[in-house]
Amino acid sequence: MGLPQLPSTEKFNGKPVEFDSHQYTDYSEVKTGTMRLWKLKKVSDTEPQVYRNRNDLTDGGSYIVTGKEYQLSDFFKDGETEITLYAEGVNAKPEALDIKLSCTKNQTPLDEASLSVTVVEGSICANSTNDITCTIDADDEIIKDQRDGFAFWPSRDQDDSVSPAGIVDLFPVKVQISAGVSLDDWDIYVSETGDASFNAYYNASDSSNRLKYLQDSATALAQMDSGTILNPQMPLDAGNCSAERTWELLFKPRNISTGNICCYMVKKTKPENPILIGSFKYTVKDDKQFFWMGSMRGEKNIPGPYDYIADYGYPNDRYIQPFPFATKNDGYADPDPARPNYLIFLHGYSVTEDGAARWGKELYKRLYWTGFRGNFVTLDWEGDDWSDPNVRNSFYTAPSFLNFLRSMESRWGATPQNVNIMAHSLGNLVMWDTLRLNSMSSSEKLVNNVISVEAAIWEEAFWDKGPLAYDNDWPYNVTYTEDDLRHNSWAFWLKNGQYNIKDSYGKYYHSYAYEDNALSTWMRYNSFLLHPSPFIRENPSSPSGYRDVETLNTLPGLLQKGHRTPFYNYTDYNKPIGMEANAFLTNTETDATLLGWEKTEHSAFLTFNFYAIYKWYTSDNMKKALGIK
């Protein structure tokens, strides 16, 4: 019959391989030869049973060994008078292969029959290995039907269109057929099984970079404007087939589901006989199932071991009891122990519980397309009060966050070297005060990288301790001593001098926009309207006159040198650090306005369409901060 010997049982067992930090089995060694022949029991008149017994027919199996002599009784059992043999194509071959069956009696030939078969091959696959360049190749074929197959989330767009925000909810699929299939004679169809609802589109990107629709505005707009929707009742357009005999597609899942996406070839003269040439398994999960979310909201003054001193070593040190320790929100995933790296995100000012969930989901998706494959964690905190109480809430959240970080190793096996934090806006005050608290009680590193995005913290909080001289503001020159500044300013809050906040982290990455409107206008204007005069510099709220976590939120920012006048305006204040390079603490700086971030924007990393801000996410600094190689 010219068929290859079946691989050994050991080869059928496969060998362990690892992709995306997970263990799979590589069965590719089984894929040898061109064809195999089987005798299968039918479960109906039209369908063979799905699972084959790989043993030889004479051993109770289904496999027919090439060149072996069998007895008729090996084929015809239990009164069978007619049987069907099934030929399995294994690898494509342009030349026809003859399958010949010879019958003998006492070594005398009685009859023979032959069949000529050409084996062609097709495949359909997504990026099941989750490599960050979305290369779809033999590695994806190896594992595409194992575990969850390709796992993704449902789209926010529930109609046939693709919105600018929803473009991150599409995933690439590659269909490929061998050269032996003539598109003049055959049609190629794609459809799904299971309870899924999908839209599918031709990818405006090509195979050299199938993610280009996420990376630049021109390709994204072309993708959204194409309006080409695949229909399971319509074949793939031969005009969209590349010279490499591939179609590049994008799929948009519309509901939570699992099943297979299948590819069929149909002879144009016999459309009633579709031939399955490939498939891959998919799992569409609620987007909450891709990351861990917890909350530090709730009643304060809960007794616990994390009461802390507000400003170490100075009068009226204050012990407080913080917001609750972080608890997991319902419906979110547990961290994946196979992935050693963690990124924790802290939202900023004026974000509700629902808003924090939306931000977490959106940031996860953008980080996924950026190439982050670690565990993503987002924490919600009481940041949706009005301005001054939110600042105070930041301080009361810091001990809870410190507890969370210190418990990550015992909870999840996450060592500080593998934990990074990203904080936005006022979330930076939670992050930096947590690092301050850690440095007050420990010289051990708490986390690896800290990523500060548009930090809503006065620049003077990062200064080294010492006096401040306004000596170019005649007739209003004045010098504030270090003790004065501890009474009435934010100066060196994070760099006390008795501890080194840099001991608490590995590297500091700082992203800023120099005309950020939320910081340049509203943060300074709020201080201008609501706080005591920055010209007089008094702190009447504190019983001792010294600042603490109860009174810092009422203290105005310092005036710039050369701007000290009783007729000041909000533009005379120092800048929040999210508006400028941080010259006061060693860091790796990113001027976000060079990477798609408009100079007045405060939250462009989440409010801009992903393709418009893609360069910011994939900048060298951001990739290093996230641990993306």
Q: Which residue has the higher pLDDT, 302 or 63?
A: 63
Domain boundary assignment for the chain = 9-117, 122-285, 289-626
Band (pLDDT 50/70/90 cuts) for residue 301 is: low
Domains 122-285 and 289-626 share a fold: no
Mean of per-residue pLDDT scores for the chain: 89
Closest CA to 570 of 515, 518, 517, 520: 520
Q: How confident is the model at residue 477 (pLDDT cuts 50, 70, 90)?
A: very high
pLDDT at 489 over 70: yes
DSSP per residue over 19-81, as a string? ETTEEEEE-GGG--SSEEEEE--BSSSS-B-SPPP-SBGGGT-SEE-TT----HHHHS-TT-S
* Contacts made by residues 265-271, CB under 8 angstroms, sequence distance 24+: 265/120, 265/122, 265/177, 265/181, 265/186, 265/187, 265/188, 265/189, 266/186, 266/187, 266/188, 266/189, 266/235, 267/185, 267/186, 268/185, 268/186, 268/187, 269/185, 271/187
Between CA 311 and CA 328 the distance in angstroms is 31
Q: Show the tokens assigned to 107.
A: 């070594």
Cβ atoms within 10 Å, residue 563: 18
- Report the topology of domain 289-626: Rossmann fold (3.40.50)
Residue 45 has what pLDDT? Answer: 56
Query: CA 550 to CA 310: how far, in whole Å?
Result: 9
Strand partners, 164: none
By three-state DSSP, how is residue 234 classified? coil
pLDDT digits (tens, 9 = 90+) for 40-53: 765 555 554 445 77
Of 3.40.50.11260, 2.60.40.10, 1.10.3720.10, 3.30.565.10, which CATH number belongs to 122-285? 2.60.40.10
Structure confidence by residue, pLDDT tens digits, 94-122: 788 888 888 888 888 888 888 888 888 89
pTM over 0.95: no
Range from 185-194, 262-271, 436-445, 602-611 that averages highest in pLDDT: 602-611
